[in-house]
Amino acid sequence: MHPVRHAQATPDKPAIIVAETGEAISYAQLNARSNQAAQWFRAEGLRPGDRVALFMENTADYFALVWGAQRSGLLFVAVSSKLTAPEVDYILADSGAQLMVASAALGQVADALTAPIQRYSHGGSIAGFAPVEAALDRQPHTPVPDESAGAAMLYSSGTTGRPKGIRRPPPLDPAIDAPTPLAMIANLFFGLGPDTIYLSTAPLYHAAPLAWTMTVQMLGGTVVLMHHFDAEAALAAIERYRCNAGQFVPTHFVRMLKLPDAVRQRHDVSSMRCAIHAAAPCPVPVKRAMIDWWGPVIDEYYAGTEGNGFTAIKATEWLERPGSVGRCIGEAKLHICDEGGDALAPRQEGLVFFEAERQFEYHNDPARTAESRNRHGWSTLGDVGWIDEDGYLYLTDRKSFMIISGGVNIYPQEIENHLVTHPSVADVAVVGAPHDEMGEQVVAVVQPMAGIAAGPALADELTAFCRESLSGVKTPRRIDFVEELPRHATGKLYKRLIRDRYWGKESRIV
């Protein structure tokens, strides 16, 4: 299905409700505005296969723009609103985006961009940017004559620390209303459909919030969009709009569980039938506490932006197999492999691979693409785990020491590459350390140059140095100092030795 079909069948039904204000956008309005967006893209010279970038905060108009890009065959690049100007410039250049829309609230960063690109602002003015609202208003509400299905092209950091654009295979059916694998999974496994009232708690530039909210609109449900997550505000939105589905990350659960009992009991969440979580492993005690509170509606999946495979588990199954992220569903097959790429027997730990006929590629990075494959052509996201005799997957490690803080993926290499350029730093390792609320926090372990005093003054200086070029989520929350980092004679860093000390496997670094 597609929003255009729901605009025909149920034109007055809300496609979007803004949680904080109650503003509602009907399917008829969404369809009309997305047609204007498609017409505008064509007027700007964009043709199927071209790219448009969105550097925006959560807003109802986000959906008009992505559906306009989808129905005109474009690739839409959702850029994190937390990035610095150099980081955004890199994505704009690497993706080949020809046009961008930036929220006025992000004007300070947008104003510092250097990429040669058509620039439009949303929700206010930015110097040198034309207002996108006026550009859309000038366009007709009718579809472009050459409609074809476009798709998201999202960026995820790679092993080098530079973001990597993920190119999924193009749709087999170019029709804009052709069914998608996620829509079928959402409907058949999670029970989402026309009666779904779906609370979206996270930024739309992330892969999961964008994909799942668009899927809900494909299925004819209503998306309740939060501008920003707040634990009590999320509970209030569930009660106010009678939300029966939504997606969360474990940090959201932790924050809601830490609310005072009186606050938690103040809000009626009995309407929830399916609270989906992903993005990071959820601690077993946290998930049990959520099930005790909301009932057996806390469902889970494991997948990546790459879209190479998908496992899922319902709450009732999870209670029988705590810690599992489910069984493989969809066309891909799940394998646990050894270092040689051969499949392992149940309960043997190895790298998680998915076997599928159609595979993703990393944009402009054939080497990284090749690294994700084994000799059978199966692909991996770099996670380690094992399966039981019934095919249920259990994850036991993360991708190459990737840090997941509050559901956000953070790769250490980029931070290390920046810190090591500071004149007072001889060597550095960045790891994730446990954090009660965020799951993990970014910690930089620094070996100072000879003669440089380690201490709070240097830590403050390095923190400020990071903030100059790195987004806030990548700036270390803690900086520790050591006389020498553990390296092999070949120069290889024994990062696991460092990380394990923070997780209680050895004494802490001091």
User: Is pLDDT at 336 greater than 70 in this prediction?
Assistant: yes
Cβ atoms 473, 205 nearer than 8 A: no
- Same-domain status, 30 and 133: yes
Q: Which domain holds residue 380?
A: 331-397
Choose the weakest-confidence range: 21-25, 149-153, 325-329, 501-505. 501-505
- Same-domain status, 144 and 212: no
Q: Which of 334, 418, 424, 344 is nearest to 380 (CA)?
A: 334
Cβ atoms 424, 448 nearer than 8 A: yes
For 405, the token pair is: 């803080």
Strand-pair partners of 334: 354
**Burial letters 461-491, b for 16+ CB under 10 A, else e:** ebeebbeeebbebbbbeebbbbeebeeeeee
Residue 339: the pLDDT is: 86
For 26, the token pair is: 């009907």
Number of H helices, E strands in the chain: 17, 27
pLDDT tens digits along 190-229 = 999 999 999 999 999 989 999 999 999 999 999 999 999 9
- Same-domain status, 155 and 33: yes
- Same-domain status, 383 and 269: no
In-domain check, residue 3 = no
Domain count, the chain: 4
* Share above pLDDT 70 across residues of the chain, in percent, rounded to a whole number: 96
Choose the weakest-confidence range: 304-318, 446-460, 488-502. 488-502
User: Is pLDDT at 50 greater than 80 in this prediction?
Assistant: yes
Residue 400: the pLDDT is: 63
Give the gyration radius of the chain's Cα atoms: 23
Residue type, 123: G
For 41-85, the DSSP string reads HHHTT--TT-EEEEE--S-THHHHHHHHHHHBT-EEEEPPTT--H
pLDDT tens digits along 61-97 = 999 999 999 999 999 999 999 889 999 999 999 999 9
User: Is pLDDT at 426 greater than 50 in this prediction?
Assistant: yes
At 223, is the secondary structure helix, strand, or coil?
strand
C-alpha distance from residue 56 to each of 102, 107, 145, 466 (Å): 5, 10, 28, 23
Residue 276: the pLDDT is: 96
pLDDT tens digits along 376-406 = 999 999 888 899 999 999 987 666 677 888 8
Which of 114, 139, 171 represents a domain boundary (last residue)? 171
pLDDT tens digits along 251-280 = 788 889 889 899 999 999 999 999 999 876
User: Is pLDDT at 506 greater than 50 in this prediction?
Assistant: no
Higher pLDDT among residues 50 and 279, named by residue: 50
Q: For 32-54, what is the mean pLDDT?
A: 97
- Same-domain status, 221 and 150: no
- Same-domain status, 362 and 312: no
| CA separation for the pair 208, 304 (Å, rounded) | 9
Mean pLDDT of the chain: 92
Residue 358: the pLDDT is: 87
CATH number at residue 374: 2.30.38.10
In-domain check, residue 440 = yes
User: Is pLDDT at 412 greater than 60 in this prediction?
Assistant: yes
User: Is pLDDT at 55 greater than 90 in this prediction?
Assistant: yes
Strand-pair partners of 479: 444
Q: For 436-462, what is the mean pLDDT?
A: 93
Residue 397: the pLDDT is: 61
| CA separation for the pair 164, 157 (Å, rounded) | 5
- Same-domain status, 41 and 98: yes
- Same-domain status, 255 and 194: yes
| CA separation for the pair 114, 8 (Å, rounded) | 43
In-domain check, residue 231 = yes
In-domain check, residue 377 = yes
In-domain check, residue 267 = yes
Residue 258: the pLDDT is: 84
In-domain check, residue 509 = no
User: Is pLDDT at 283 greater than 80 in this prediction?
Assistant: no
Which of 295, 320, 345 represents a domain boundary (last residue)? 320
In-domain check, residue 5 = no
Residue 431: the pLDDT is: 93
Q: Which of 86, 164, 156, 162 is nearest to 414 (CA)?
A: 162
Cβ atoms 153, 76 nearer than 8 A: yes
Which of 115, 147, 171 represents a domain boundary (last residue)? 171
In-domain check, residue 510 = no
Q: Which of 217, 186, 211, 212 is nearest to 25 (CA)?
A: 217
- Same-domain status, 262 and 245: yes
CB atoms within 10 A of CB 384: 16
- Same-domain status, 193 and 139: no
DSSP class of 124: S
**Burial letters 99-122, b for 16+ CB under 10 A, else e:** bbbbbbbbbebbeebebebebbbb
Does this model's pTM top 0.85?
no
Residue 186: in which H helix or E strand, if any? helix 181-188
Q: For 328-338, what is the mean pLDDT?
A: 94
pLDDT tens digits along 454-505 = 999 999 999 999 999 898 999 999 999 999 988 754 455 778 789 888 988 6
- Same-domain status, 145 and 195: no
* Share above pLDDT 90 across residues of the chain, in percent, rounded to a whole number: 74
User: Is pLDDT at 416 greater than 90 in this prediction?
Assistant: no
CATH number at residue 75: 3.40.50.980
Residue 505: the pLDDT is: 60
pLDDT tens digits along 85-137 = 999 999 999 999 999 999 999 999 999 999 999 999 999 999 999 999 999 99
User: Is pLDDT at 317 greater than 90 in this prediction?
Assistant: yes
- Same-domain status, 133 and 164: yes
Residue 407: the pLDDT is: 83
Look at the block and give the residue holding tokens 């009718």.
142
Residue 410: the pLDDT is: 83
Q: How confident is the model at residue 159 (pLDDT cuts 50, 70, 90)?
A: very low
CATH number at residue 464: 3.30.300.30
Residue 399: the pLDDT is: 60
